[in-house]
Amino acid sequence: MQQLLLLFSTKLVYWATRLPLHSIARIIAWFVKKYDVNMSEAKEQDLAQYEHFNAFFTRELDMSKRPMSDAEVVSPVDGKIATHGQIDDDTLLQAKGHTYSLTALLGSLDWSEPYEQGSYLNIYLSPRDYHRIHMPMDGKLLRCRRIPGTLFSVSPKTAQSVKGLFARNERVVAEFEGSQGKFSMVLVGAVNVRAIDTVWQQKLTPAQNRKIEDYDTPDIRLAKGEEMGRFNMGSTVILVFEKGYQFAGEFGDEVKVRANVLA
């Protein structure tokens, strides 16, 4: 019953956030004030120019105001690091006292095996954050899949209470070849966040079937900082790296990060 209610709520939000309301500028202004949204870096700062709420929520940044870091690996999104660490025995930390399986997260053993003894980085996007997703480094797309699942919230509070949260929610996994080996970007859906786009194939969720769907991938090569996708409403990105990746700078749990830079 709970999941049916979450699904209904998500479909309702999907519809409502695309309505071209006459009062949309006032609604957006209320949201900006309530969540302290930083509009100074937005490419379009006139709220009246947004067709609907989702257009505002997936707004583009003026990247001239966001200098690219020289680090080889940068944050793909604006958000806060929820957890990070090494992958041991197919296990990642979800929250204090809670772990989950990498194989369950990626959908199968053949996807997870390359990352044993590698590292991971879980970044939570709050409602106030910018919601386009960028490349953490140069990468060639190897494969991509959509994994069906539930629609729990991915808030820090929920992560502390729902077992296996990130491996249970709907998600899109894109694997790339980078300069130091393979890395995967896991775009986790949630309540109100069932629509996830990539630049090579839009609207990978939702789908009607309940089976893992592997996609034919075109010859896609994306540079560090280049847009690779977006959330329609907020969620979580989990980066998974093969063993040997090195990161410049210091970061830890609860550290805020910005797309194209580490902090």
- Which residues are tagged catalytic? 78, 134, 235
**Whole-angstrom Cα distance, residue 190 to residue 11?**
12
The answer to whether the bond into 206 is cis (omega within 30° of 0) is yes
Q: Per DSSP, which regions of 45-118 are E strands?
A: 79-86, 91-95, 98-101
Backbone angles phi, psi at 29, to 5 degrees: -60, -40
Tally Cβ neighbours within 10 Å of residue 35: 12
| CA-closest candidate to residue 252, choices 72, 74, 83, 79 | 83
3-state helix, strand, coil in the chain (%, to 5): 20, 30, 50
DSSP string, 109-157: HHHHGGGTT-EEEEEEPPTTS--EEE-SS-EEEEEEEEE--B----SHH
**Whole-angstrom Cα distance, residue 181 to residue 141?**
12
What are the tokens at 199? Answer: 């630049």
